[in-house]
Amino acid sequence: MSGSIMRWLLLVLTLFAFALCFTRHSAGAWGFWLLVGFVGIVATTLTFAQARITGNSREDSLSEYDLKRLREGKDPLGHDRLGR
């Protein structure tokens, strides 16, 4: 849940940085907020990509049965190709 909030918070802050960038009149403030906006684009893109990868990934750990089959030199899924 907190990761989901962080993604959307980064997106809103990035859009806010661009809004500030284009409403400032001095070149220094314009450049600063433009830089913050581009850093925000990279950060937001990476957080959305990470969430997508995490959502589509498999479970990290193997069961005891799968570990036993691996130690025996067998395929943990039972798909022995060589028919040992």
Task: Give me the residue spans of the domains in the chain.
Answer: 2-71
Burial class (CB in 10 A: 0-12, 13-18, 19+), 14: buried
- One-letter amino acid at 37 equals G
Residue 80's pLDDT band, with cuts at 50, 70 and 90, is: low
Say if residues 18 and 33 touch (Cβ distance below 8 Å). Answer: yes
66 pLDDT above the threshold of 90: no
With H, G, I as helix, E, B as strand and everything else as coil, classify residue 53.
Answer: helix
Predicted TM-score (pTM) of this structure: 0.65
Residue 30's pLDDT band, with cuts at 50, 70 and 90, is: very high
Q: Annotate 26-51 with b (16+ C-beta within 10 A) or e (fewer).
A: eeeeeeebbebbeebbebbeebeeee
Q: What is the mean pLDDT of residues 73-79?
A: 71
